[in-house]
Amino acid sequence: MPRLFLYPIMTPQTDITTLEDIKLLVDTFYSKVQKDEFIGPIFNEKIGDRWPEHLEKMYRFWQTILLEVHSYSGSPFPPHKQLPVAKEHFDRWMEIFTQTTDSLFVGPLAEEAKLRAKNMAEMFHYKIDYFRNLEKNQTNNS
């Protein structure tokens, strides 16, 4: 009879506490996004060869939100305003973000990251729909 070796399932043991943690989260998340069949093409077309710049901006964004190190300034919504996305895209983005966060970290800041991501996805979706409907109404009234 063969011997079975049981290996413990690796579970995250620490919370997000440093810039290195944020880089791990952002890099892991966006590497999954780039390969995702549903949302990957949208990101890859929009960002093109500017992934390093985008990732740097995301490090600063999450560092500001989670670690209160104010390294990000700007408005995150405008670059997303014209993206060809719907609720299903935001749901997939959130699914990947949650899975990535849960696979790497555990603790209050990891939970905060997921909450902030959820709120941002909902707000972006709402605003994109608002501007689309506004443009549609202006076109129909012309």
80 annotated among ligand-binding-site residues: yes
Alpha helices in the chain (DSSP H): 19-35, 40-47, 51-67, 87-104, 108-140
Positive or negative, the CA dihedral 93, 26, 100, 36 is positive
Angle at Cα 12 formed by Cα 55 and Cα 122, nearest 5°? Answer: 50
Annotated binding site: 80
Binding site as annotated, residues for heme = 80
